[in-house]
Amino acid sequence: MGPVPPGGPHRSRRPLRPFGLYVHFPYCTVHCPYCDFAVATERAIPQERYTRAVLAELALRAPGFEGLAPRSLYLGGGTPSLWDPERVAEVVAAVRARFALPVGAEVTLEANPEAADRGRFAAYAQAGVNRFSVGVQSLDPGVLAKLGRRHRPEDAERAVRAAAEAVEDVAVDLIYGARRSTVAIARADAARVAAWPVTHVSAYALTLDREALAEETPLARLRRQGRLPLPSDDEVVAQARALRGALRRGGLARYEISNFARPGFESVHNRLYWESESYLGLGVGAYGARHAEGGEHAARYGNARTPAAYLAAVEAGRLPTAEEDLLGPRELAEERLMLALRLREGAPLAAIAPSRRGEIEALVRARLAVVRGERLVLTSRGLDLHSAVAERLMP
């Protein structure tokens, strides 16, 4: 054996590419009329059976993610705050054992205000969760009613404050552009939330476009039938600007089109998606992607969207894959460019085809983008028109 390089035998090795783990808990007490996620409402949730299935799928899929470094674990849904804390502890422990998830790595659990209390948040923290994402959506009773939400504004505040007693890192979700939403309501929602002990806010316009949804939702059906009046596009843009201004004044900076954080609290897990890294998805309806080492292609999969189909496959020792896709170099390059443009840091100029360099100058002249060093960064107005801008830069 030759001489060992300074710093030990592994110093010369390249750092491992990161990846995140996503676990989907599909069960809810009620199916919100705007939600197209893989969810199920059952009188009795099969807690032990579902947990065993997730752990079995973990064992089946883990070999495909060898050679990557785990960065985060995200428990989404559905309503993961209905998952027994003891079962969540089993999942967190299994992930740590299988992938050596670092101590202190971001472990997020989504919670609905009506499905979590002080004791439950404390139990999840004891199980290894160190970040909560609370589905506030709005603090206006009328908007909440039109969204089909069961909680009241005071329930949302109570849940956020209880979560903040258990962990330091608490995120909330907001929705604007819904029926009964106004500029004043969007601004007030953001201002109130920013005054709470929150570290992160995700704010999304209500999306009912059938092409953007996995399946048609009740609200999308009403919209198609002309029975659901919604704010105009100009009104939605105005709501977004009012919301952003209130969050900025409250100390939360925009670091992605729809995401805002206090310094040091940007979402580690979501950044892995936006930076086009690999992610291992487990559970009903979960998606996963494994990027090749050289970045020339990526294999993606989506799991069965019903508990019955998912459980049947896993309990028979089979992968619960319902769809698969292989992305080649061109598709990946276009996706990386579109995702990078969503972020505050923008996209490398080198990622834009030479044939589209004239578009860069046009975007800068139109004040939709600026060039900072070797990167193209969208302005606030450019981010509002992200899809159209990104399309102009595609080869």
Q: Identify which of 106, 128, 109 has the alpha carbon closest to the alpha carbon of residue 267.
A: 106
Please name every residue paired with 302 in a beta bridge, in sequence order, or none if there are none: 287, 323
Beta strands per DSSP E along 126-215: 131-137, 169-176, 200-205
Query: pLDDT tens digits, the chain, 395 residues: what are they?
Result: 333 334 444 444 678 999 999 999 999 877 555 556 667 778 799 999 999 999 999 999 999 999 999 999 999 998 999 999 999 999 999 999 999 999 999 999 999 998 889 999 999 999 999 999 999 999 999 999 888 888 899 999 999 999 999 999 999 999 998 888 999 999 999 999 999 999 999 999 887 554 445 555 554 554 455 545 566 888 899 999 999 999 999 999 999 999 999 999 999 999 999 999 999 999 999 999 999 877 678 999 999 999 999 999 999 999 999 999 999 999 999 999 999 999 999 999 999 999 998 999 999 999 999 999 999 999 999 999 999 999 999 97
User: Which of 231, 232, 225, 108 has the alpha carbon at shortest distance from 173?
Assistant: 108
Structural domains of the chain sorted by starting position, each given as residue range(s) with its CATH number in brackets: 18-274 (3.20.20.70), 329-395 (1.10.10)
Backbone angles phi, psi at 77, to 5 degrees: -165, -160
Cβ neighbourhood burial of 252 (10 Å; 0-12, 13-18, 19+): buried
Give the Cα separation of 304 and 283 in Å (integer): 9
Whether the Cβ atoms of residue 229 and residue 179 lie closer than 8 Å to each other: yes
